[in-house]
Amino acid sequence: MRQITYIFCVAILFLGCKDTTDDGLPNNNGGAQDPPNGVQLVFPQEDMLCNEGENPTPTESTVFFEWEPNDNAETYLLTIENLDTDNIEQYETVDFIFPVTINRAQAFRWFVEYAYQNETKVSAVWNFYNAGPGVQTYAPFPAEIISPTMAQTIPATNSVTLEWNGSDVDDDIVGYDVYFGTTNPPELNTSDISTEQITVPVSTGNTYYWNIITKDAEGNSSESGVFEFRIL
């Protein structure tokens, strides 16, 4: 079960896994930003290895999540998902640098949002690996599904193009296995393809399931999870 934790933080902490090239200070441009939009993430960086954690143990370290402040935000909601365990934690804070103790040698996804005039403004979503002791190579991040989206309904057609995006901190992805069909879990459709899309035949009235396995040169792999769509 995904765990949701809300913590209010009222002080900026300065040590730990943080960006060393940017002081993170707000842009003093006078007045609120217009139009308001989601914050810009700073650290941990997208598709990178975080290896600056404070107070590391063999299994955990404290990572300092950082983003650019937005004058329209009264508070921020930081969401961190462990891609290995599917555990989600959320933290509400008034600050733009927030320390969280997370597992080492595991992959994470994070983003920041805030409320503005009854709307939710959401940042980009970034993946990263929290470095682990003695780990020389890391599995690819789970493929990001682009199209069709989860539970999408598609007008009657004879074929659909499945699209995704793969990434890896080691930059050594060698191929993808595509699982596709009308059963869940789906069966293997195509293996070891190097492209990030494939066109598959479909029929009217069916629900289809698909899953992408990403493989790297060291024999590591990751799974996107099963997505589904329906043909009218």
State pLDDT tens for residues 65-95: 999 999 999 999 999 999 999 999 999 999 9
DSSP string, 7-19: -EE-S----SB--
- Give residue-wise pLDDT tens across range 126-182: 999 999 887 778 899 999 999 999 999 999 999 999 999 999 999 999 999 999 999
- For the chain, the average pLDDT equals 86
Q: What is the pLDDT of residue 37?
A: 77
pLDDT score recorded for residue 205: 96
Percent of the chain's residues with pLDDT above 90: 73
Higher pLDDT, 173 or 56: 173
Catalogue all structural domains in the chain, each as residue range(s) with its CATH number: 8-130 (2.60.40.10), 144-231 (2.60.40.10)
Question: Per the omega criterion (within 30 degrees of 0), is the bond before 35 cis?
Answer: yes
Predicted TM-score of the model (pTM): 0.74
Cβ-proximal residues to 4 (8 Å cutoff; 6+ apart), any chain: 88, 89, 90
Burial class for 79, CB neighbours closer than 10 Å (0-12, 13-18, 19+): middle
Residue 11 predicted with pLDDT over 50: no
pLDDT band (50, 70, 90) for residue 35: low
| Assigned token pair, 23 | 């002081």
Strands of 144-147's sheet in order across: 144-147, 159-165, 197-201
Query: Which residue has 């596709």 as its token pair?
Result: 180
Question: 185: exposed, middle or buried (C-beta count within 10 Å: 0-12, 13-18, 19+)?
Answer: exposed
Whether the per-residue pLDDT at 26 is higher than 80: the answer is no
**Tokens describing residue 163:** 């699209």
Distance in angstroms (rounded) separating the CA atoms of residues 204 and 28? 56
Which pLDDT does position 15 carry in this prediction?
Answer: 39
pLDDT of residue 27: 39
Given a cut of 80, whether residue 4 has pLDDT beyond it is no
How far is the C-alpha of 5 from the C-alpha of 153, rounded, in Å?
A: 33
